[in-house]
Amino acid sequence: MATTTRTGQAFERTAFDAVIKRRLFFTEAFEVYRNASNFTGDNRGLYDYGPPGCALQANIVDLWRKHFVLEENMPEVDCTVLTPEDVFKTSGHVDRFEDWMCRDVVKGDHIRADHLIEAVLQKRLSNHAATQPADSRDYDTKKDTSKVLSDATVVEYEEILAKIDNYDGPEMGTLIEKLDIRHPDTNNKVSPPVPFNLMFKSSIGPSAAAPVYLRPETAQGQFLNFRKLLEYNNNSMPFASASIGKSYRNEISPRSGLLRVREFLMAEIEHYVDPEGAKRHGRFDEVSHVRLPLLDRETQLSGNTKVQVRSIGEAVKERIVDNETLGYFLARIHSFLLSIGVDETKLRFRQHLPNEMAHYACDCWDAELLTSYSWIECVGCADRSAYDLTVHMRRTEEKLLVREPLAEPKIVTEWQAKFDKKALGKTFRSAAKAVEEAINSKDQPALAVLASTLVDAERITITLPSREDVVLDRAIVKIEQSTRVENVREYVPNVIEPSFGIGRILYSLLEHVYWHRPDDVARAVLSLPLSVAPTKVLIVPLSTQLDFAPIVRHLSQSLRKLGIPTRVDDSSAERRTGHTLGHHGGFRDGQGRLRDAARARQHPAGPRRSGGCCGRGEESRRGCGDVGGGLW
């Protein structure tokens, strides 16, 4: 996808990749084995971070902790990666955490169905655009007319791309057949889409009798510790927990560098809120003025991708964004991404389409960043309602809920199912528990309907999770109203979940801050803010004389004592590594010149002034290039 550098030049991915690889931000894992004879492994989607990549990632995570964990007073947990199968069976991941996959019928290569359709249609639209003259008088009759599309076809393709996330597998299969979509690398036909579960499965112990999965998200560990975290928070609601750690997904066709990998770092927040309070947030007024570029569901379903910029206060009031807590975190996500250097013009918030929604979500917005690979989902902000806590509570019979004393006793009349356990067990045997749970899980309106049916027809039909229908008569179950006095209110909190893919953010950020000198593409610069730059100060000796070494050593030690990462280098290569300032050491009293890498400007500076620039909070977020006039 055509995009630009930080300074508006045409983005050349080949030149960008060369800088990233040469300076070792990240590299393919096990790369030396790729061309080894008889190598049968698959290293796709696996990456190692080099020194500047590690430092950049650590700085992003550190800023994330300050922005969210510290600012919002969130308890942080670090949960295990290995997760028993029963946990993910309960959460729905075993049955529903999947993508649709096609196979090259000749070579056998697999590819995600939605990515296949996107790649082919975008290529056709790109080829069509290349055949269109800027002026009708410039029309070249020698151009390949086979690539020319009718106006109706262009509109059809654009509408499909706008709604691609809303198609299910069979619908994508119909599109593939109708539009003769083939594998983009081989032009071979592909098989109809089939579902593929994305979790890595393993087992614990030598007997392999205890199946486990590598977690695809950090969320389940937080949910299963909810009761302990609530107690840690003095049973005070609302509150949020946070976790940072590796997650794993067995991607069908890993590609695009760090953007689609099988192992990645996530930073996730689970914010627990009382559903009866309309999911309001106590600090929403602080962010209600923040203007966000929003691409809502209705706009996408109309075949359009134009964003609307409006304040989050207006968006919540008009119910474009469902509630204050969801809106609050969208604004906070926006603030965080800008603070690390993301280009605001390449950021949008897109609402998930109905068929795209995860099985646990009732609403979700993605913070997407524009890269040379197109718009990339980097942060998801989902309203998971009470789904996770409810299913785990039902499975374990542990009360994952909030108990709040009522100011006054409350008389409650409700429908309750009463079973003849002996008759239930005799009739349904091993399925008896599932039958009981299926009825007890019904809400009050549903129980009222069942009670009426039981009186009129003397029997009811219940559908089990296995989709089997069973019939119960009045000898097995009675559904009656009962009255009780409540002194304590119990409820399962709803959850708003911001989920950050650190690797995707890191890669997109590098594209956003990359540029090169107008006269030399090899003179590349990564204009990272001081707050996240891998190296804050690069010390560049102007002489290799031995007498100069103590001055350089003293300067380096002085900056390190201030907690400022520095490097000493006598070459010009470091201008590409993402450092923000260069200190050119001189001979007069250890003084030198502090060089702004982005602006190629120099200022007189010794160790104290260099340290002062790097240590100021506001300057660190903006970069010294924006505040240099006030520092020297």
Per-residue pLDDT, averaged over 233-239, amounts to 95
If we measure between CA atoms, which residue out of 383, 389, 385, 347 comes closest to residue 368?
347
- First-residue to last-residue Cα distance in the chain: 42
- Torsion sign over Cα 47, 52, 57, 60: negative
Question: Please, which pLDDT band fits residue 624 given cuts at 50, 70 and 90?
Answer: very low
Domains in the chain and their CATH numbers?
13-95+199-387+495-505 (3.30.930.10), 98-197 (3.30.40.230), 408-491 (3.30.720.200), 527-630 (3.40.50.800)
* Structure confidence by residue, pLDDT tens digits, 190-214: 999 999 999 999 998 887 778 999 9
Any idea which of 136-150, 371-385, 421-435 has the lowest mean pLDDT?
A: 136-150
**Does the pLDDT of residue 584 top 70, yes or no?**
no
- Residue 550 has what pLDDT? 85
Bridge partner list, 240: 271
- Residue 553 has what pLDDT? 86
| Structure-block tokens of residue 485 | 């006095």
* Residue 100 CA from chain centroid, whole number: 19
| Structure-block tokens of residue 445 | 């309106």
Half-sphere exposure of 59 (CA within 13 A, CB side): 26
* Structure confidence by residue, pLDDT tens digits, 170-189: 999 999 999 999 999 999 99
- Residue 60 has what pLDDT? 98
| Structure-block tokens of residue 419 | 């079973």
Helix (H) / strand (E) containing 485: strand 477-491
Any idea which of 150-164, 497-511, 615-629 has the lowest mean pLDDT?
A: 615-629
Instruction: Give every strand in the sheet of 110-112, ordered side by side.
Output: 110-112, 98-103, 194-197
3-state secondary structure of 503: helix
3-state secondary structure of 537: strand
**Residue 407 or residue 282, greater confidence:** 282
* Structure confidence by residue, pLDDT tens digits, 519-537: 888 889 999 999 999 988 8
Q: Is 614 exposed, middle or buried (0-12, 13-18, 19+ CB in 10 A)?
A: buried
Residue 331 CA to residue 347 CA, distance in Å, equals 12
Percent of residues, the chain, with pLDDT higher than 70: 88
**Residue 518 or residue 620, greater confidence:** 518
Residue 560 CA to residue 567 CA, distance in Å, equals 10
Backbone torsions φ then ψ of 407, nearest 5 degrees: -65, -35
* Structure confidence by residue, pLDDT tens digits, 3-17: 999 999 999 999 999
If we measure between CA atoms, which residue out of 177, 211, 207 comes closest to residue 192?
177
Question: Please, which pLDDT band fits residue 42 given cuts at 50, 70 and 90?
Answer: confident
* Structure confidence by residue, pLDDT tens digits, 68-118: 999 999 999 999 999 999 999 999 999 888 899 999 999 999 999 999 999
- Residue 52 has what pLDDT? 95
Among 30-34, 99-103, 171-175, 334-338, top mean pLDDT goes to 334-338
Residue 502 CA to residue 496 CA, distance in Å, equals 19
- Residue 585 has what pLDDT? 53
Q: Across all residues in the chain, what is the average pLDDT?
A: 87
Q: Which residues of 194-214 are buried (b: 16+ CB within 10 A; e: fewer)?
A: eeebebbeeeeeeeeeeebbb
pTM: 0.81
Running DSSP on this structure, what letter comes out for residue 260? B
- Residue 622 has what pLDDT? 45
**Does the pLDDT of residue 225 top 80, yes or no?**
yes
* Structure confidence by residue, pLDDT tens digits, 591-616: 555 566 555 555 555 555 555 555 54
Question: Please, which pLDDT band fits residue 623 given cuts at 50, 70 and 90?
Answer: very low
Residue 511 CA to residue 571 CA, distance in Å, equals 24
**Residue 51 or residue 165, greater confidence:** 51
**Does the pLDDT of residue 155 top 50, yes or no?**
yes
3-state secondary structure of 505: helix
**How much is the CA Rg of the chain, to the nearest whole Å?**
29
**Residue 188 or residue 555, greater confidence:** 188
If we measure between CA atoms, which residue out of 579, 598, 574 comes closest to residue 517?
598
DSSP string, 353-413: PGGGS-TT-SEEEEEEEEETTEEEEEEEEEEEETHHHHHHHHHH----SEEEEEEEEEEEE
Any idea which of 75-84, 147-156, 260-269 has the lowest mean pLDDT?
A: 147-156
Running DSSP on this structure, what letter comes out for residue 283? T
**Does the pLDDT of residue 572 top 70, yes or no?**
no
Any idea which of 200-204, 257-261, 480-484, 610-614 has the lowest mean pLDDT?
A: 610-614
- Residue 520 has what pLDDT? 84
Q: Which residues of 249-259 are buried (b: 16+ CB within 10 A; e: fewer)?
A: bbbbbbebbbb
Bridge partner list, 540: 584
User: With contact defined as beta carbons under 8 Å apart, do 499 and 381 qualify?
Assistant: yes
